[in-house]
Amino acid sequence: MGPDDLREDRSRTGVWRRAGLLPRTAHAVTLGEGTTPLLPLAGLLGDRARVHAKVEALNPTLSFKDRAMALAASVALDLGLPGLVLASTGNAAVSAAAYAAAAGLPCRVLCGTGSRAALKLAAAAAHGADVELVEGDYSSAYARAVRAEDEGWFNVTTTYRNPVLAEAYRALAVELLDDLGHVPDVVVVPVGAGPLLRGLLGGFEDAVSAGVAARTPRLVGVQARACAPLARAWRHGDWMASLAVPPPVLPTRAGAIADSLRGYEREGLLTLAAVRDSGGTVVDVGEDDMARATTASAGRGLLVEPAAAAALAALADDEVAALVPDGGSAVVVLTGHGAKEPLAAAPAVAAAEGGER
Ligand SMILES: Cc1ncc(COP(=O)(O)O)c(C=O)c1O
C-alpha cells in the first residue's frame, strides 16, 4: 500500500474514486456513495476537545451500507451470480435493494419481525426487492440467508460472513483523514457485529502503511444496552466464554444495531480484537441516552436514527470521554438517517391531518 493507492480519483464516481483501496472488480456499480461530509460539532466535549461527525447518513440510501453494497453488486456481476440475498435489520436491506436494482439483479431481503423496520422494508420493496419477514430477531433471519447460499445467491448480509463487504469501509477512514487533516484520537462507531469498525481500522492501517498517518485512532464500539453481546464480552474479559452465552435481548429504538450474534458468536471476536488492537473500548448506552442524543442531533440540523445517535450518546460516557485527551479530537460516525425511522408528526400537522379525516 502506497500513497497513490489512497489518492482520490475525481474522474470516477462513488466508492470507485478510491478504487485503490478496494478489491479489483471489472464492474463498478455506483449510485454516488461515499465522500460524505465531515462536520464540526461544537461543545460536545465542552471546549476541551474537538468533535466532528462523519455524516454517513448522507449516502444515497441514507446509511453507510451503500459503500459495501456498491462493491457487493459489482462483485456479483463479475461472478455472474443470480442475485443478492441478505438478512438485515433494515438499512442493509434498502441499500442492497437499491444497488441490486442499479445492477439489474434480483434481491431477496430477510428481516426478523423483532427488527421493526417497516419504513426501511417498504423502501427495499419499492426498489423491487422480494421482502420476507422471519419470525424472530436478526439472527433468525441470518440463518435463513445462509441457507439461500446453496442456491448460488450472493449472501451480502453485512456481518463477516461475506468478507468482501467490510473492505469497502476502508475508504471511509481515508476520507476522514483527508478531511480532518490529522489522525483523531478517538473514532466512535455504533456496532452490531462490527464489520464497519473493523473495516475502518483496516483503512487507518492502510494510511499508516502508506506513510500518510503516524498511528491509528482508538476505536470505540457502541451498542444498545438492550442487546449488547460485544459490550458484555469486553467487560467480562473472557470474550468467547461471554459470547457463548446468549445475551438478554430487550426491545430497543436502535433495532439497526441489535444483533445477538446467535449462531455466529465467533464473528464478535474479530470486532473485539480490532478494538483491542486500536487501544479503544466497547460500551453500551441506554434507551434514554439514545433518545436524548437523537433529539439533540436533530436540534443541530442532523436527523439521525437512534442507532446512529448511540455514537453521540457514547461521548457522554466517562470511559469514552477519558480516551480523548485535552486539546485532542474525536469523530463520531453518524451511520444512518432519521428519515427511515418513524417520527412523531409535529403537533400542528397531526392536529390538521387528524381533523381532515
Ligand atoms: C445505523 C447503523 N449503524 C451501525 C450499524 C452497525 O453495523 P455493523 O455492526 O454491521 O458494522 C448498522 C448495522 O446495520 C446500522 O444500520
- pLDDT tens digit sequence for 179-217: 999 999 999 999 999 999 999 999 999 999 999 999 999
Return the SS3 of 213: coil
Cα 284 to ligand 1 centre (Å): 14
Q: Is the pLDDT score of 339 beyond 60?
A: yes
Tell me if 351 is assigned to some domain.
no
The residues near 354 (Cβ < 8 Å, ≥ 6 apart) are: none
Q: Which of 61, 69, 72 lies closest to 123 in space, CA to CA? A: 61
Predicted pLDDT at 355 = 61
Q: How far apart (Å, rounded) are the C-alpha atoms in residues 201 and 272?
A: 12
Q: Reduce the DSSP state of residue 95 to 3 states and report it.
A: helix
Whole-structure pTM value: 0.96
**Taking the alpha carbons of 321, 325, 327, 330 in that order, is the dihedral positive or negative?**
negative
120 & 188 share domain:
no
Q: Among 125, 155, 185, which residue terminates a domain? A: 155
Q: Which range, of 79-93, 117-131, 136-150, 268-282, averages the lowest pLDDT?
A: 136-150
Residues 224 and 327 in one domain: yes
Residue 357 counted as domain residue: no
Cβ atoms < 10 Å from Cβ of 350: 11
Q: Give alpha helix (H) positions in 251-346.
A: 267-278, 287-299, 306-314, 318-322
Q: Binning pLDDT at 50, 70 and 90, where does residue 158 land? A: confident
Q: What is the per-residue pLDDT for 356?
A: 52
CB of 20 shorter than 6 A to ligand 1: no
Please state the atom number of ligand 1 nearest to the C-alpha of residue 256. 16
Question: Hey, which residues does 223 pair with through a beta bridge?
Answer: 284
Position 281 in a domain: yes
Mean pLDDT, all residues of the chain:
95
Tell me if 196 CB under 6 Å of ligand 1. yes
Distance CA 28, CA 71 (A): 7
Per-residue pLDDT, averaged over 172-180, amounts to: 98
Please give the backbone phi and psi of residue 331, each rounded to the nearest 5 degrees, phi first.
-125, 135
Same domain for 169 and 223, yes or no, is: yes
CB 36 within 8 A of CB 56: yes
Same-domain status, 257 and 136: no
Ligand 1 pocket, residue 309 CB under 6 Å: no
| Atom number of ligand 1 nearest to Cα 199 | 11
Structural domain count, the chain: 2
**With a 6 A CB cut-off, is 210 part of the ligand 1 pocket?**
no
Same domain, 73 and 57: no
CATH number, domain containing residue 217: 3.40.50.1100
Cell of 332: 463520531
Indicate if 308 and 216 belong to the same structural domain: yes
pLDDT at site 254: 95
Residue nearest atom 14 in ligand 1 by C-alpha distance? 256
Single-letter residue type at 49: A
Residue 341 grid cell: 425511522
Residues 6+ apart with CB under 8 A from 14: 28, 30, 31, 32, 33, 34, 70
Residue 27, domain member (yes or no): yes
Whether 322 is in a domain gets the answer: yes
Pocket test for ligand 1, best of 61, 62, 66, 91 (most atoms within 8 A of CB): 91
Are residues 82 and 218 both part of a single domain?
no
- Distances in whole angstroms, Cα of residue 283 to Cα of each of 45, 185, 222, 231: 17, 17, 5, 5
Domain of residue 44, residue span: 3-63+165-340
pLDDT in tens, 68-108: 999 999 999 999 999 999 999 999 999 999 999 999 999 99
Give me ligand 1 centre to Cα 321, in Å: 22
Flag whether 349 is in a domain. no
pLDDT on residue 159: 84
DSSP 8-state assignment for residue 55: E
